[in-house]
Amino acid sequence: MDFPVCPSCRQSVIDDDAVDCPFCGASMKAKPGSKPAPAATKSPGTTPSKPAPTKPTFGVTKPTLPGDDLPFESELTTGKSAIPAMPNPTKQRTLQVICPMCDTPGYLPPTAAGQSVRCANSKCVMPVFTAPSEKKKEETPPPPPPPPKSSNLPMIAAITLAAVGLFAGGIYLTMFHKSGPAQKVLSEEERQMIAEMAGGNKKNPAVKPNPADVGPGVQTPKDHGKDPAGADKTMQSNDELIKSALKQMKDSSLAAEKQRSKPYCRQLAAEANAVTGNAVTAREHLEQLSKVGPAVTYYRVIPLLDLFWGEFKAGDKSGATKTLNGAVSEIAKLPKFGRTRLEIVGRVLTALAAADRIPEALTMLSTFQSSEPEAQLAARLQMATDGKLGRLVDSNSVLPWKNPQAVAATSSLIARDQMSAAVAWIAAQTNEEAKAECLSVWAQETAFRNAAKGELDADGTIAAAVEKLAPAFAARVWARAGCGRVLAKDQAGAAAAAGLAQEKLATISIPAEPAMPSIKQTVKFPKEMPAAEPLFQAAVAAGELAFLQIQSKEMKADAEKSLDQALSFVRATAPTFAAAQQRQDEAERLGPVGLRDLLKKELKLKSDDDARTTASNYKQALKEILDVSQRKFAIETELLSQLRGAGVGLNEKVWIVVSTRSTADDISRRENFFTTGLPGELIEGLKGTSEEQAILGAWSLRSKAPAPPRPALVELNELLKSNLPAAAEFVQSIDNKTSRRDELLLRTASLLPTLNQLSTAFQFIGKLDDPLAREECYRFAAALAAQRGQSDEVWKQVSVVPQNTEKVALCRGLIAGLQYAGKLVEELPESTRRP
């Protein structure tokens, strides 16, 4: 049987009575080649028209409304590189799409928008189609779909239509696959967006800046000849700059091109409006953030906290509570890893403590508490930027904190003039070490503020706070109070604080340094070692005291004694790492059988069962000894490194320690400091001296390399002066886990503007490959530059960068800097140890 054939598209039509072609909409009575009726107009390559589905096609879960950031349009494409849609959503696959052929829903990463995808239904006859893509004008809603055309097709037509579709699909693939447009694959920048949607913090290779846009240093692209938002190139007042920056942030948030992350743009725009008092606009940005970033709604937390602080200070208790609850509700959606979650939690803890919700804050803290390097960096970033603005420094602690989030919350409460809440927060800490760490931050600020009264502890608040603390913790607090007096230029007060710390430490006895036990003694030895934790705590306190003392030449000799005391506390915890490692290596070489035979002989064991049990206990004892000795070595190294370069420095003293311990004949007294970064650091601090030559000579005896590796911070600083591309390449080659690449970048980005090297900072940042690193560094550098009166230079840089997300980051930094204009933070000298 022959079916009628459409005179326009030449498709067979099963309905003998059809007036219009169900495929192209043309009249079945028209002459071949005539145009189809307007109501049924279709684009070449699109699927046959269907009755309008009850749910929006292509995964739009609700009709696109005015102001929505994601209007979509559809287009059929094919290709082997089509991204497969999954039948169920995941954290990474949050974009829902609906197959235009079989109406099967599927889920894709958000960055697959606009790309060729494959239907989740494996039996779909035409499985390849294009996922919806963003339009350039995001605030303009898509035109409404044409009303469905009535059809007289009987039920059997649907079945036949599938067969026809399969035939048509085969023709399409045959005719157009080779000559059609090349299939788009995920760009590296889009891969970074997938990582962002997953909440990760790991670096993914990113798109390098276009050489046409970013040449040597940073050059103005051709399409960025004017200042942002059409601003005049003449000087603007702070208020005018803020208005221009807010407008630029809105415009860049709407832009579809050169855009890494719309959700991040909306977050920063909401923050900027919140801190400048534009609460209504801030909430509008938050609403749009929810639309463009449904998988990262926790981006709303920081802007909500900014709104909370505005309401809190205005006395709007009801509004502040509601806003804070909204921020807290997002905590459950935070990613399971990465620094972002820790930065967010630290600021939420601050708000909860200020709102007298400390029990709730402590519960949250117990869930997210971490002392890993990313947690240390998150805490120090919060201390630099929450409630105040300063450089990223490591001088606020000699050794890493055990409770960095609790410390950061304390610092933020003080910076926001919530001193009573800070005291309550400290008192509520559940362990004494956490209290001591928080009290150290509080005591430094309290002593600094009391400077005008001419006394270390004018009102006795510090003495009352440390009264019930263990001596080591009390000494630590007094040492930090002394640092507050140093910042106040009160050397007499600093010396008084050092004396109080010394008195506390003098009450702690120091056990003798243990030697590695014999094979027979090893099994019982861990139980006989002194408790390590109190000794480590005492070592930290002595290290903090030495740090205070090296801020003054008059106390340098005392600092050397305090360093010896700190090392003595550490060494009393376990045998040296070298000795423990040697014994562990021997056991590994013997293997299970050889170890059992050795123990059977040494201990005169009578049976193989006894030997097996003893061998198991022996290996466990060795592991415990090795763990403590390894931690001991790490703390020794960190203390020597930090005290070597901070303040007036103890380079000569540290070299004596390193030389003596590294060459000790007795392995129970030997520490292999030449396997650490200390030799390279000491050479930098002792250049041109006889000690430098001694270090190089000692190094040549142990290594074929002519000199030890240089500290990363030193090498980067030199490259910044001579070769910016090489500087960017160098820092990007560093392993972020082992050498704290992010910290090195942020320290550099925050240091250069304070040294009147803003141009160098911007050029360096512009050459980084990682877009997330560029944005974070731009924001930090812009803030510190604007704080120091360089806001016009920052505004010019906004017009230079090609990426809209980077424009928004610069504007956010600019506004933060203008908020704290002229309010510079006093900082203690720091070393070159970290990172």
Question: pLDDT tens digit string along 276-295?
Answer: 999 999 999 999 999 999 99
364 pLDDT tier (thresholds 50, 70, 90): very high
Alpha helices in 386-531 (DSSP H): 404-415, 419-427, 432-449, 461-466, 471-487, 491-505, 519-522, 525-528
Helix, strand, coil percentages in the chain from 3-state DSSP, rounded to 5:
60, 5, 40
**Does this model's pTM top 0.95?**
no
CA distance 436 to 401: 10
CA distance 315 to 639: 46
CA distance 794 to 153: 65
191 pLDDT tier (thresholds 50, 70, 90): very low
pLDDT at 37 over 70: no
pLDDT (0 to 100) of residue 95: 81
- Pick from 8, 102, 123: which is nearest to 47 by CA? 102
645 pLDDT tier (thresholds 50, 70, 90): confident
pLDDT at 745 over 80: yes
pLDDT at 174 over 70: no
pLDDT (0 to 100) of residue 347: 98
Percent residues over pLDDT 90 in the chain:
62
Whether 426 contacts 435, CB under 8 Å: yes
Tokens matching residue 342: 């820790």
Q: Average of pLDDT values for 226-240? A: 61
212 pLDDT tier (thresholds 50, 70, 90): very low
Q: Average of pLDDT values for 511-526? A: 92
Residues 6+ apart with CB under 8 A from 633: 576, 577, 671
pLDDT at 353 over 90: yes
Whether 23 contacts 48, CB under 8 Å: yes
Q: What are all long-range contacts of 597-605, with beta carbons under 8 Å and residues at least 24 apart? A: 598/519, 599/519, 602/519, 602/520, 603/519, 603/520
pLDDT at 481 over 50: yes
Give me the numbers of helices (H) and strands (E) for the chain, helices first please. Answer: 33, 5
**Higher-scoring residue by pLDDT: 500, 219:** 500
Distances (CA, A) of 784 to 221, 793, 794, 813, 834: 25, 12, 10, 8, 21
Cβ-count burial of 349 within 10 angstroms (0-12 exposed, 13-18 middle, 19+ buried)?
A: buried
How many other β-carbons are positioned within 10 Å of the β-carbon of residue 7?
Answer: 16
pLDDT (0 to 100) of residue 198: 43
Q: Average of pLDDT values for 393-421? A: 95
Q: Average of pLDDT values for 694-711? A: 91
Query: Does a cis peptide bond (omega within 30 degrees of 0) precede residue 835?
Result: yes
* Per-residue exposure over 131-147, b if at least 16 CB sit within 10 Å of its own CB, e if not: bbbbbeebeeeeeeeee
pLDDT (0 to 100) of residue 201: 38
pLDDT (0 to 100) of residue 606: 87
Q: Which of 31-40, 93-102, 489-498 has the highest mean pLDDT?
A: 489-498
pLDDT (0 to 100) of residue 835: 41
- DSSP, residue by residue, 312-327: HHTT-HHHHHHHHHHH
Residues 6+ apart with CB under 8 A from 491: 485, 552, 554
CA distance 826 to 396: 12
pLDDT at 370 over 60: yes
Q: Average of pLDDT values for 769-785? A: 96
pLDDT (0 to 100) of residue 661: 96
Would you give the end-to-end CA distance of the chain in angstroms? 81
pLDDT (0 to 100) of residue 807: 97
Tokens matching residue 744: 């090195």
pLDDT-wise least confident of 233-242, 646-655, 739-748 = 233-242
CA angle 307, 308, 311 (to 5 degrees): 90
Question: pLDDT tens digit string along 96-150?
Answer: 888 877 778 887 777 777 777 888 787 776 788 888 764 433 344 444 444 444 4
pLDDT at 24 over 70: no
Question: pLDDT tens digit string along 550-579?
Answer: 999 999 999 999 999 999 999 999 999 999
pLDDT (0 to 100) of residue 182: 37
pLDDT at 62 over 50: no
The neighbouring-strand residues paired with 20 are: 27
The neighbouring-strand residues paired with 96 are: 107
**Higher-scoring residue by pLDDT: 560, 207:** 560
Q: Average of pLDDT values for 755-782? A: 95
Instruction: Count the residues in the chain.
Output: 835
Alpha helices in 4-110 (DSSP H): none
Q: Average of pLDDT values for 728-743? A: 82
